[in-house]
Chains A and B, each alone.
Chain A
Amino acid sequence: MPKKTVYKATIEHLQILNEDGKLDASLAKNTLTDEEVAFLFEQMVIWRHFDEVAFKLQRSGRMGTYPQNKGQEAAALGSGFAAKKGTDFLVPCYRENAALFLHGLAPHMILLHWMGDERGNQIPDNVNCTPISIPIGTQMLHATGIAWAYKIRKEPRCVVTYFGDGATSEGDFHEAMNFASTLEVPCVFFCQNNQWAISVPREVQMASETVAQKALAYGMPGMQVDGNDMFAVFKATRDALDRARKGGGPTFIEAVTYRLADHTTADDAKRYRDVKEVEAWTKKDPIIRHRKFLESKGLWSDKKHAEVEAKAKKIVDEIIKTAEGIEKPSPADIFNYTFAEIPEQLRVQRDTMRTNSLGQDPSQTGLKTEHAHTR
């Protein structure tokens, strides 16, 4: 038997709006209207401000550890805008705040979460997302499960799940990709390749030239887009969702972007990242190119920008006020939310708050319960 090629593949990279704000008009057809870009750009400015203020809140001791989203807003907004609000479902990691806000999550919830309050994860019924997920990669399996439920229910809905380049080294990623493709579920795997898994650069994390090619092993369409280009991100995500909605199964999108800030407020990237690399990526900041594009269309100006920045300040001030104005959680909550119905022994613990010894006799706590001394 002669040798023959049994499989060949290529990975495409899509860019529609380049670093200088120049648009490829033919590729941009049927993507975002000028008005939509202006709207999304305003969101970008507002949530960039939110992100920077969140960082300061942590530094001044008003919030716990926070992972900045800075630099990755185009990836979040372009993909979030492609998903149908109220229909599709987002299963996030923690670096796509803007997508969640587009889908109706109240921004103070994210601050509440990072202030260490579980109620920040009480997603309202009319918002289609799961709480942000801190363990790396575990949410991709949940996304696959939710998408599978949609398929079983024959609902024309899709799931977009977010994760970073680092998460593709987890077993969960591979198991989710395998299940999603074999079950042909309507799920878009949206990888924000921000080049760094904390201090480990992409090329140390993996030997593959792209993250997208990992999809090939699962028989799943995989592609790469410029993650700082909302047009490309939107187009890729929308096309993937359209295909999924028609029963075409999952897609993997690698959005090439960059984490302009530290991993979290507990990190100092200056210790391991080359300043020149950061400078080069700063020039590719999505804010710069989208502003240039809008200015070339006569839809943006210095005056407009100043107005939006002032508006952002007001909005974010209000968000902080809301988050900080919420009454501290009751210690009883930690017991109430552990089981659907509180077991007797936990109830005693909750009511006494004086013991953490599960078996302690209620009589020893000084608390009379209907349960104590019945025998």
Chain B
Amino acid sequence: MTTTLDPIELPEIDFDHAPSREGNREIQFREALREAMSEEMRRDKRVFLMGEEVAEYNGAYKVSQGMLDEFGAERIIDTPISENGFAGLGAAAAMYGLRPIIEFMSWSFSLVAADQILNNVPKMLYMSGGQWGCPIVFRGNDGAGGQLGSTHSWCVEGLYSNVPGVKIVIPSNPYDAKGLLKTAIRDDDPVFFLESERMLGDKAHVPEEEYYIPFGKARLVREGDACTLVSFGRPVHFCVQAAGRLAEEGIEVDVLDMRTIRPLDIDSVIESVKKTNRIVVVDQCWPFASVASEVITQVIERAFDWLDHQPLRVNTEDVPTPYAKNLEAAYQPNPDRIVAAVKKAVEA
């Protein structure tokens, strides 16, 4: 019987093939995501996209625009407002050979699916004695989207990265978004893919060809020897802006875009710290038990003697995300706060 699940031989991923970031094929972040999903769906019939508004409406944020027309309603699937429901359905589909991509309109809404995504999906392989993996991608908007209020502005990476068994990807630009999402779809473990509503319209050159970016490899965005700036996701841009301003004052810093939180490329951080002897971690989550805390802990464990200043963090303030525009801006990491932190580390 011919089914959509006939075994598929996929070409092996060549992570060494990394086309240039330079070029003039400028597309939006959301288009890069769409391209990644569409390329994988054309090749592998087991891959499907499910979530609220993904089909007829073309995606609440137009990430899946046109995908219903190309792939049909069997593979681009609108759901009721039922996050726990479609997360659980996706988990089962993954356990039995399909490759689901589940879109949460916002990661804030994943909280009502917590049992499925934290208590079932990441433990499936372990609890079945290594038998059932759960190759599923959950993706959606993470972080303050711009005056969405406290309940709709979650940064889940702090909470979710505490759970073993998941991989957490958080791209900062369209080029990485495409390559990382393709890797996520091909990965045999569950992947949480965190996008940002504030970046979906960002444009950059994205190669038309296929490429994959390995997990656990940070990208050195800018080089310097005064301090190591570590970040991931949207705040990487704030770090780059801050680095530009610092350079005008003669302070050159390394800016590392981690790209994945789990696995965490701590080796690249350590390598940079051994050169700069100072570190500032910029993280759009709350400070307590955050990814920034974890990065700093690991730096202290592995490079304590190399530090000339105590590690510093720039997190959001330790309060619920404010609604008012000015307050939301003040609450988040921003270039001003990053510049101040680097100066404190450097001038000591």
Contact surface of B with A, Cβ cutoff 8 Å: 1, 3-5, 74, 79-80, 82, 84-93, 95-98, 112, 115-116, 119-120, 125-131, 133, 135, 164-165, 167, 187-189, 216, 263, 266-267, 270-271, 274, 294, 297-299, 301-302
Q: Does A149 contact B (CB under 8 A)?
A: yes
- Nearest to B295 among chain A residues (CB) is A359
The residue of chain A having its C-beta at the shortest distance from the C-beta of B130 within the complex is A337
Q: Is A153 an interface residue (CB 8 A)?
A: yes
List residues of A whose CB falls within 8 A of some B CB: 118-123, 130-131, 135, 138, 140-146, 148-149, 152-155, 171-172, 175-176, 178-179, 182, 333-334, 336-341, 343-345, 357-361, 364, 371, 375
Please tell me if the beta carbons of A175 and B164 are within 8 angstroms of each other in the complex: no
Give the total number of A-B pairs whose CB atoms are below 8 A apart. 149
- Chain A hits for B128, CB < 8 A: 118, 121-123, 131
Between-chain CB contacts (< 8 Å), 21 pairs: A119-B129, A121-B131, A122-B128, A130-B95, A131-B127, A138-B88, A141-B92, A142-B88, A143-B92, A145-B91, A152-B3, A176-B88, A179-B82, A179-B89, A340-B187, A340-B189, A358-B298, A359-B294, A361-B301, A364-B301, A371-B267
Residue of A nearest to B188 (CB): A340
Give A29 to B187 CA distance when docked, in angstroms.
52
Other contacts beyond A141-B88, A141-B92, A155-B3: 17, CB < 8 A: A118-B126, A120-B129, A122-B128, A135-B120, A138-B119, A140-B88, A142-B92, A148-B89, A149-B98, A154-B1, A178-B82, A337-B130, A338-B126, A338-B164, A339-B189, A341-B188, A371-B267
Check if B126 sits within 8 Å of A142, measured CB to CB. no
Given known A175-B82, A175-B88, A359-B302, contact A149–B93 (CB-CB < 8 A): yes
Q: Which of chain A's residues have a CB closer than 8 A to the CB of B90?
A: 145
- Using CB atoms, name the residue of chain B closest to A358: B298
Q: Which 3 residue pairs spanning A and B have beta carbons closest together?
A: A141-B88, A145-B92, A359-B298
Q: Are B298 and A144 in contact (CB under 8 A)?
A: no
Contact A142 B188 (CB under 8 A): no
Q: Is the CB of A118 within 8 A of B301?
A: no
Residue from A119, A138, A179, A343 within 8 A of B263 (CB atoms): A343
Set of chain A residues within 8 Å of B301, measured between Cβ atoms? 357, 359-361, 364
The residues of B that contact A155 with a CB separation of less than 8 Å are 1, 3
